[in-house]
Amino acid sequence: MTSEQPRPALVVDLDPLADVISAALVDHPGVVRLEPTLRSVIDRWTPAALDQLHRTLRPAGSPPVVARDGLLLTLSDGVLDLKIDVATDINRSALDLAREVQDVAARLVDAEGIAVGRVDVTILAIEGAPAT
C-alpha cells in the first residue's frame, strides 16, 4: 500500500561536506591536488554576481550544486553525485588511485547519511616529484 503523504524534502548543506571531502582527498597519499576547473573559478565571484549567474543559467527547481577546486557535488532526489578532478603522483597507479578517491568520497558522503550516486573521478594530470 502506498502512502499519499508527501515525503519530507531532504535539506542538506553541501558546503561543509564539500570542505570535508576536499580536505580528505588532498591529504590522500598519491593525490597531488584537486584540479581547478572553470566552474570553480566562476564560483569565486562575488555572491551577488553568482546569484545572478545561477538565476540566469540554471532552471528553476534545479538540484543544489556546490563546487570547489576539483570537486562538484550535485544533490538530486536525495542522491548525491560527485565529480572529482585530481592531479596524481606518477609513482602511484592512476587507476588504483582513482578507485581509492572514489571510495574515500563515497564513505564520507555515506557517513553523513546521504545516498551516494555516481562518483566520477578524472585524472587531469600525472606529475613527478618536483625538481630540487
The torsion of the CA quartet 35, 40, 45, 48, rounded to 10 degrees, works out to -160
Number of Cβ within 10 Å of residue 65's Cβ equals 16
Q: CA-CA distance, 57 to 31, in Å (whole number)?
A: 32
Domain boundaries, the chain: 14-127
Three-state secondary structure along 38-67? HHHHHCCCCHHHHHHHHHHHCCCCCCCEEE
* 66-107 tens-digit pLDDT: 888 899 998 988 999 999 999 999 999 999 999 999 999 999
Residue 65's pLDDT band (cuts 50, 70, 90): confident
Res 66: pLDDT: 83
Cell of 20: 570535508
Q: CA-CA distance, 45 to 108, in Å (whole number)?
A: 28
Which position has the higher pLDDT, 54 or 34? Answer: 34
* 4-25 tens-digit pLDDT: 554 444 556 888 999 999 999 9
Res 94: pLDDT: 93
Which listed CATH number (1.10.3210, 1.10.10, 3.30.70, 3.40.1130) goes with 14-127?
Answer: 3.30.70
